[in-house]
Amino acid sequence: MKKRFIQVAVLALSFAIFTVFSSPFDLISFAARPDRTAPTAPSNLKATAITDTSVSLSWTASTDNVGVKLYEIYLNNTYLASVLSTTTAYTVNALKPATSYQFYIKAKDARGNISQASNILSVTTTGTIQPLTRKMVGYYAAWAAYSGYTPNQIDATKLTHINYAFANIGSDLKITLGYPDIDSNNIKLLNSLKQTNPNLKTLISIGGWNWSGRFSDAALTDASRTAFADSCVSFITQYGFDGIDLDWEYPVSGGLTTNVKRAEDKQNFTLLLQKIREKLDARGAIDQKHYLLTIAGGAGSSYVNNIEITKLPQYLDYANIMTYDLHGTWDRYTDLLAPLYTNTDSSPQYKASVDNGICAWLNASFPAGKLVLGIPFYGYIYSSVNNSNNGLYQTFAGANSISFQSIATNYLNKPGFTRYFHSQSKAPWLFNGSVFISYEDEQSIPYKTDYIKLKGLGGAMIWELSQDPNEVLLNTLYNNIK
């Protein structure tokens, strides 16, 4: 009886062991590693071949290889792929030319224990980045760093210019850091992108919607204009920028109700740009380089009428036209954020389009080649929308801005939501019977790049890069503007 009991116990124990482990390999691993600690790290990671678009890697196996099941390959601190422990080589494809990458390897055993990383290997692919024939201007919002999107995450190979938004205007009417707690590090990371794309230019953008209140005072007299322009030069030489982008919202009228506004802003805006151009050129002569001067301009006749548009091209390298926010949360009815063309729909509110905005500049004789068309990487989401006409031109209870990433993650292809596309305005929207979202997408952007080419415009401008961290819209824009 005692002998039979022992036999049954042994059989039960054997069954339990085979139940716990999924394969004979697991048994070997468990036998070899009774303490279940992680395997030792692979070593001697090196590149055996480098091309424009690929890197071939090899490494020395973990010294504990009897218990290793897989080797995990990491690219730029992100898991990329796995290979069986029977191999110690892997080729990474679909990389970008003349771009720096970092790799490391980890060993993983059958129980899921993962080793420490191998040595980190830094590699730069061969080849050169071909400069774009048109401008690709991307705004980077300083506050994006608070949410974890720092400038070094920007794909600089797809941009010609990056505008850092925003610098403020101090009470002394000189420009100053807008976010001093993060700006210095942000700017350092931003300018480091020039190692990836040597043709990249960075500009400091001044003002914006919230910080345009002192522009009128800064532009008022020759003394104030001189002080402001001198501060611009000091700022860009201190922080390594290639130019100045003036985002005055807006001369003469518009913008925040608290902004100082004067009728003479129209002439003083020209004089301010003239003074900045003189100071930049003087500094450029010393540094033997051309410093850029650009503006962010309004899309439409009201803005054009409030500036001396025929006098500006001599001072500006180009103008970024804010061809978005053509409709938004301030309206009484839902509408399209950035319709390319004016449609013939019956609508209870005003009509606006990208085409109308650009033509206002062209008809005022501003050079087409110095116009850069703005494209939003965000949308507007409206709630409690009247369920009629697929949500378009309907009343709503509330609305907010929303990034393209949030739209793609939370609303696109989700149950209940239907995507619509306006055949005349070339713009998409989503609607579920109550929630309406107007935005830009992979279908609408090619129509805008075709328009840029048709009109002979200087390029495209993005507001703003952090709202599309997965580069869905950026890739679409880049691939279609070339």
Catalytic residues: 249
Tell me the C-alpha distance between 44 and 120, whole Å: 9
Residue 176 burial (CB < 10 Å; 0-12/13-18/19+)?
A: middle
SS3 448: helix
Cβ contact 202:248 at 8 Å: no
Torsion of CA 443, 448, 453, 458, to 10 degrees: -130
Our measurement of the distance from residue 159's CA atom to the centroid of its chain's CA atoms, rounded to an integer in Å, reads 10
Instruction: State the distance between the two ends of the chain, measured CA to CA, in whole angstroms.
Output: 86
DSSP single-letter state for residue 14: H
Q: Are strands 161-169 and 175-176 parallel, antiparallel or unpaired?
A: antiparallel
> What whole-number distance in Å separates Cα of residue 177 and Cα of residue 132?
31
Contact yes or no for 88/59 (Cβ under 8 A): yes
| β-bridge pairing 161-169 and 135-141 | parallel
- On the 0-12 / 13-18 / 19+ scale of CB atoms within 10 A, 409 is exposed
Report the C-alpha gap between 323 and 355 in whole angstroms: 9
Report how far residue 21's alpha carbon sits from residue 111's, in angstroms, rounded to the nearest whole number: 9
Residue whose C-alpha is closest to residue 59's, from 75, 70, 48, 74: 48
456: left (phi over 0), alpha (psi -120 to 50) or beta: left
Instruction: State how far the Cα of 165 lies from the Cα of 156, in Å rounded to an integer.
Output: 17
Which among 244, 255, 245 is positioned nearest to 298, based on CA atoms? 255
**Residue that the structure tokens 């599309």 belong to:** 468
Q: Kindly report the CA angle at 465 between 462 and 471, in degrees rounded to 5? A: 100
Total residues found in the chain within this entry: 482
Helices (H) and strands (E) in the chain, counts: 11, 21
Name the token pair of 270. Answer: 């020209």
